Amino acid sequence: MLLRYLLIGVTLPLLLLVASGCEQQKVAANTPRTLTLALGEENTEGFDPTLGWGSYGNPLFQSTLLKRDADLKIVPDLATAWQLGDGQLTWTIKIRSGVVFSDGSPLTARDVAYTFNAAAKAGGVVDLSGLEQAKAVDDVTVILRLKHPDITFIQHLITLGIVPEKLHGTDYGRKPVGSGPYRLVRWDEGQQMIVEANDRYYGAKPSIKRLVFLFSSEDAALTAAKAGKVDVLGVPSSLAGQDIPGMTLHTVKSVDNRGLMFPVVPDTGLKTPRGLAIGNNVTADPAIRKAVNYAINRQALVEGVLSGHGRPAFGAVDDLPWDNPEIRFRDNDQAKAKAILKEAGWLDTDGDGVVEKNGVKAEFEIIYNTKDSLRQGLALAVADMLKPVGIKAVPRGENWDKIKNELTHASVIVYGFGGHSPLEMYKLYHSNGPEPMYFNAGFYKNSTVDAYLDQALRAPSFEAALPLWKKAQWDGKAGFSTPGDATWAWLVNLDHTYFVNRCLDVGKSQMEPHGHGWPITTNIEQWQWTCQ
């Protein structure tokens, strides 16, 4: 999503005044220093984990119970032990003793319980609706009681930053206090944010003692980087071919995907309780959806739209542990796409180049966010790829408000997802209620798929759930992927591209999720300045 990279508000003169590690005198390796980062997207809503901060990436100011390492393996953070029991309904967690927040106050299990309960009550980005209650047993033991078995709940232990009960309130997001590796010093909204290493942090102390996050236009940030005033710069793939003196390109594999969401039910005049139209008489036919999938040349999309910085996408969870490699297929196969259409009765009877069936033309719009040039590029390219097989796709840009409040259930939409939990897959493909939003906006329903997904949630362990997640995609006879119901045409997985000061070693980056937040900072404690 291009908005991931947009920076807001500050002019170039202010950029040039900000202290940068590049301007300091030569120092010995690992000497405390300032780094200037232009990573895009200012979190204007603040830094409150109970409202969603840290869901995609690193909460920075707060600690989490668990975390993922560079290989996405789950490892301890605040927690020293964790156990699921009572029929998969209860998580019992032991936390480190002696941990304090950045203000010196102790962090206890009561703060952990408070954080989970507060996030559940907030009902926002953090979906903790499955939590019945979090309760502290003593200073180092907390019990999380679930309403129903859900093996994916462990993701909340990985992403939800712990806040201090006594300091948490309506203004917390702008004055966060946590137990993470850094603490907020100053935030000039729309311009910059200054953070410093938390001396009370219990983990490995970061060698980089001061960070300045810049929020400006993309052009201003790029100009400042070329002038040596930025140490880490996030850019869209279209700008990754730049030559920036003193910086090298750092490319990070991601599961940040883009794809076409299809309405899979016909238009019968039904509407959601909010009055949104449901269904599309063209994409309701699986033959259309399959033909689209086989006709698209995904590698050409990677090369042309992503400038080579990405890889083809065949599903929502490519290369994650719960991905099923059996869903892969040979795309850019126009002969197969035409055969699928012909067999299903889609024929060009009037010679206009567009196939039809029962008087319905194979025509639909591809809706994309008008402010997102990457999604626009994908929509235009896909439309060209579908013409030779007789499908007329018309790209059209709209703002997000109109997409989500008018078009999302009746149009083909260019959406993007990608997370470190199979729960996202569950939400995308499990049959939904009468008023979904982005997740399963096409009203897909398959009882076999639902059964696999439900069984996966109730699995006794994360590992035991893996075969079930894979079968929901394709079990040899049924599934939501292209060999089965072809509910989406997944297009590409983005590489996240950064320019990094040649003297800065950012270590091994984990495969990043969808592009919100600052996921590159997940391993920031490992960053080292290498120049003498």
Residue ranges covered by each domain of the chain: 1-42+189-246+502-532, 45-178, 254-493
Q: Say which amino acid occupies 102.
A: S
- Of all residues in the chain, the percent with pLDDT exceeding 70 is 94
Helical ranges in 395-478 per DSSP H? 400-402, 423-429, 447-457, 462-473
Burial profile 318-330: b = 16 or more Cβ within 10 angstroms, e = fewer: bebebbbeebbee
Segment 256-277 mean pLDDT: 97
**What is the distance between the alpha carbons of residues 291 and 287, in angstroms, rounded to a whole number?**
6
Domains 45-178 and 254-493 share a fold: no
pLDDT score of 420 more than 80:
yes
pLDDT at 110: 98
pLDDT in tens, 443-496: 999 999 999 999 999 999 999 999 999 999 999 999 999 999 999 999 999 999
* Average pLDDT, integer, range 88-106: 97
Is 29 a residue whose pLDDT tops 60?
Answer: no
What average pLDDT does range 26-53 have in this prediction? 80
pLDDT of residue 23: 41
Assess whether pLDDT exceeds 60 at residue 288. yes
In tens, the pLDDT along 383-397 reads 999 999 999 999 999
Distance between CA atoms of residues 404 and 158, nearest Å:
29
What does the longest C-alpha to C-alpha distance in the chain come to?
77
> In 99-231, which ranges are E strands?
131-138, 141-146, 182-188, 192-197, 210-214
pLDDT band at 13 (very low <50, low <70, confident <90, very high): very low
For residue 84, give the H/E element and its range: strand 79-85
Domain 254-493 has CATH 3.10.105.10: yes
- Whole-angstrom Cα distance, residue 386 to residue 368? 17
Reported as a pLDDT band with limits 50, 70 and 90, residue 55 is confident
- The tens digit of pLDDT for each residue in 507-520 reads 999 999 987 789 99
Q: What is the mean pLDDT of residues 39-53?
A: 92
Strand partners, 193: 187, 213
Chain mean pLDDT for the chain: 92
Task: Provide the pLDDT for residue 11.
Answer: 34
What is the chain's length?
532
Of 120, 103, 100, 116, which is closest to residue 176 (Cα–Cα)? 103
Q: What is the pLDDT of residue 12?
A: 34
State residue 57's pLDDT score: 78
Position with higher pLDDT, 20 vs 86: 86
pLDDT for the residue numbered 514: 87
Percent of the chain with pLDDT over 90: 88
Confidence band of 411 (pLDDT split at 50, 70, 90)? very high
Q: What are phi and psi of 68, to 5 degrees?
A: -110, 140
Q: What is the mean pLDDT of residues 29-33?
A: 54
pTM: 0.89
Confidence at residue 124, expressed as pLDDT on a 0 to 100 scale: 75
Q: Of 40, 37, 7, nearest to 22 (Cα)?
A: 37
* Rounded distance between C-alpha atoms, residue 333 and residue 340, angstroms: 11
Contacts of 271 (CB under 8 A, 6+ apart): 277, 278
CA distance 268 to 270: 6
In eight-state DSSP terms, residue 120 is: H
Distance CA 182, CA 188 (A): 17
The pLDDT of residue 33: 78
Residues with Cβ within 8 Å of residue 376, at least 6 apart in sequence: 368, 370, 395, 397
| pLDDT tens profile 130-159 | 999 999 999 999 999 999 999 999 999 999
Report residue 40's pLDDT band, with 50, 70 and 90 as the boundaries.
Answer: confident
Instruction: Write out the CATH class of domain 1-42+189-246+502-532.
Output: alpha beta
CATH architecture entry for 45-178: 3-Layer(aba) Sandwich (3.40)
pLDDT at 28 over 60: no
Does 138 or 7 have the greater pLDDT score?
A: 138
